[in-house]
Amino acid sequence: GAVVSQHPSRVICKSGTSVKIECRSLDFQATTMFWYRQFPKQSLMLMATSNEGSKATYEQGVEKDKFLINHASLTLSTLTVTSAHPEDSSFYICSAREQGLAGVKNIQYFGAGTRLSVL
């Protein structure tokens, strides 16, 4: 099946630093990738939709200047948490939708997630 690689799996950083998380589709092209955040015992919450070659679409309440998304190619999207603070500590997961397959356009393939801890 389709594979999405997310890196790093875990990162610990000091408050005020920036952290970049990468999401790659390994065996398919993804014009659209999604970034989710999950708080403990809560559901996945969509943060933004990343579109190759254009600006990301952010969900209400998500600061686009804080969570920078770049989708420069059909296989790579990055999320940069700028000037991270302890309240940004969370589990971030990306997903990718395979391009152009009839009948499966609504299936998203997920990365393994990144556990961010900001000290």
Partner 1 sequence: DQQVKQNSPSLSVQEGRISILNCDYTNSMFDYFLWYKKYPAEGPTFLISISSIKDKNEDGRFTVFLNKSAKHLSLHIVPSQPGDSAVYFCAASAAGNQFYFGTGTSLTVIP
Min dist. Cβ of residue 88 to partner 1 (A): 19
Residue number with CB closer to partner 1 (84 or 94) = 94
- Give me the phi and psi of 106, to 5 degrees please: -95, 0
Interface residue with partner 1 among 46, 62, 68, 74 (CB under 8 A) is 46
CA 42 distance to own-chain centroid: 17
> How is residue 92 annotated by DSSP?
E
Compose the 5-34 pattern: x for residues touching partner 1 by CB under 8 A, - for all others.
-x--x----------------------x-x
Stretch that binds partner 1, among 13-21, 65-73, 77-85, 103-111 (CB under 8 A): 103-111
Cα maximum dimension of the chain: 45
- Minimum distance of partner 1 from residue 74's CB (angstroms): 16
Alpha-carbon gap, residue 17 to 50, rounded angstroms = 23
Question: Cα separation of 11 and 118, whole Å?
Answer: 8
With CB under 8 A as the contact rule, the residue among 12, 72, 107, 119 that binds partner 1 is 107
